[in-house]
A = this chain, B = another copy of it.
Amino acid sequence: MTLRDVAERAGVHPGTASRALNPETQDLVSEATVRKVQHAAKVLAYRPNPMARGLKTNRSTMVAIVVPDLSNPLFPPIVRGAEVELSRAGYTSIIADTDNEAGRELAAFAALRARQVDGLLVASARRDDPAIAELFEQGVPAVLINRRSDGVALPAVTGDDERGIELAIAHLRELGHTAIAHLSGPRELSTGLSRQRTFRQVIAETGCDTSPDLVVECETYSVEAGAEGMHELLERARPTAVLAGNDQIAVGAIDALRERGLRCPEDVSVVGFNDMPFVDKLSPPLTTVRVPHAEVGAEAARILVRWMTRGEAASATTALPVELVVRGSTGRAPVRTAQAVSNTSG
């Protein structure tokens, strides 16, 4: 079924049929012909050929969503939120998984651009990311998700990391904790850096123990790195509470505590970040900062669509509100350990 068939059946010229079928140009055609053509199209079950259209218009109505690891439960909700919004706007999404490798990201961008995607949603950004810098310089419509990239004026949509850290620390303070540690994510990622910075600042402002030993940076956002980080932390300090850079690190931290015979939350409280699926089923159920991931994806998609359609190359950064979800991994500070720590570091 081509446009020619529709035009023939409606008794009009293919050009006219094209105008009648396209909402943008529909008003250049008489109402009667529009109806005729639409009817013919319906009868013939006509589906426009996106390749022919794309070849002519130089647009593909396809958008790429680039994630660092689709198997990380964090990303499917983001992808979902974005997809819904994109398909509503008539775009098809292609998902690319970079496997957390800079090289693959570069390759993915190239392949996607070759596919003529109209825009990109990128959740795999590192702070130092030449591939993204290039994207930016080329002026390709692209919106960053979750992670930002240094020195690149691309719009970004994230959860409100600062607020999340504030909420978590306030919660721990209310429970009487003063020796609060941070198992930070890698500083090469904007989330790792900004959460770590905010942590240090808020801790200082609230008059908690500011010993540098209480901040350990994990190499990756993984369970293994979290466990490793926790072991290192416990060799240097005796915190009564740990704020993890994300949920995976928190899970690893709890594993490490268990290995050392420490109980969570009786001996050490742990707070995560993200509220991934299933962290409420862990033992103990994880207290964590909930980021509205689907909404993050959806908002990023909306910004991208606006850019692609109206040419508005926004560069603003959007931080969506987060909330603290209190579950079983946090409890009152143990009096004895707390004293021991303040002695140690005082």
- Name A residues whose Cβ lies closer than 8 Å to a Cβ of B: 47-52, 54-55, 60, 70-71, 73, 76-77, 79-80, 83, 87, 92-95, 97, 110-111, 113-116, 223, 251, 255, 277-278, 281-283
Contacts and interface: CB of A to CB of B under 8 A. Distances in A.
A47 to B, nearest CB: 4
A50 B114 CA distance: 7
Contacts of A255: 281
A333 B47 CA distance: 61
Contacts of A52: 55
A60 B55 CA distance: 13
A310 to B, nearest CB: 24
A79 B70 contact: yes
Contacts of A114: 47-48, 50
24 contacts: A48-B114, A51-B51, A51-B116, A52-B55, A70-B79, A71-B77, A71-B80, A71-B277, A73-B277, A73-B278, A79-B95, A80-B97, A83-B97, A87-B111, A92-B94, A92-B111, A92-B115, A93-B95, A94-B94, A94-B95, A251-B281, A278-B278, A282-B282, A282-B283
Contacts of A113: 47
Given A93-B94, A94-B93, A60 B71 contact: no
A281 B47 CA distance: 48
Contacts of A70: 76, 79-80
A146 B110 CA distance: 32
Contacts of A77: 71
Contacts of A95: 79, 93-95
A143 to B, nearest CB: 19
Nearest to A55: B51
Nearest to A117: B92
Contacts of A94: 92-95
Contacts of A282: 278, 281-283
Contacts of A49: 55, 116
Contacts of A60: 51
Contacts of A110: 47
